[in-house]
Amino acid sequence: MASPFAKQISNRNFLSPVGFKFSLARYPKVDFFSLSANIPEISLATTIQPSYLKNIDIPGEKLTYGDFQLSFIVDENLENYSIMHKWLTGVGFPESSSQYKDLITNEDEIRDPNILFSDGTLHILNSNFRDIALIKFKDLFPTSLSSLAFNAQEQDYNYFTATVNLKYTVYNLLNKNGKPLWPLMKFRRCGRETLLLILIIYTMNL
């Protein structure tokens, strides 16, 4: 007979809002001194199934992902801020096309448009500051970078912070070993009817 605790949450500790760090695959040597980051919202479009009693909402086929926002402390040499600034101006090349060409040119002087994007990882940490989950973002690129406002009359000594907004193609929730957090993710290639049946059976057994 199965233990009555088999369906209970094994870890009773709560997730801390301060337990995280962020890394960019393209800039591994730069610590962004992250202050805040978000797991973006995700929404599914729905379609209507007509019925003589009431129209029924059924799952659609396209997901919409919210933007990823990262706030960070700016280092004294402006290194992390300038990297984001150069990345953003390279994408938009406001002065000349050479800005875009420089951005997509690798160390071997070969142009690769894929350099325009970068994968990133939001590390979710436990109370011992060890990885418990990974949020993997694919093909990140910046769309906005906040300003830095200098003020000689500032009384309190506060460090500069900046916020960058990034878009991406998709993100995945993984465990610390890089495996899906949700075991049913392996059925993502099933047809809609099969997936709905799996979800119903899974829910009935909760």
Number of H helices, E strands in the chain: 3, 9
Residue 144 C-beta-side C-alpha neighbours within 13 Å: 8
Taken in order of first residue, the domains within the chain and their CATH numbers are 20-175 (2.30.110), 182-206 (no CATH)
- DSSP code, position 98: H
Q: What is the pLDDT of residues 1-11, one digit of tens each?
A: 555 545 555 55
Q: What is the pLDDT of residues 37-94, one digit of tens each?
A: 999 999 998 888 888 888 888 888 888 999 999 999 999 899 999 999 999 999 999 8
d(CA 118, CA 129): 25
Q: What is the pLDDT of residues 175-185, one digit of tens each?
A: 888 888 765 44
Q: What is the pLDDT of residues 91-135, one digit of tens each?
A: 999 898 888 888 888 888 888 888 899 999 999 888 788 888 999
What token pair was written down for 186?
């392996």
Most confident by average pLDDT, 146-150, 153-157, 179-183: 146-150
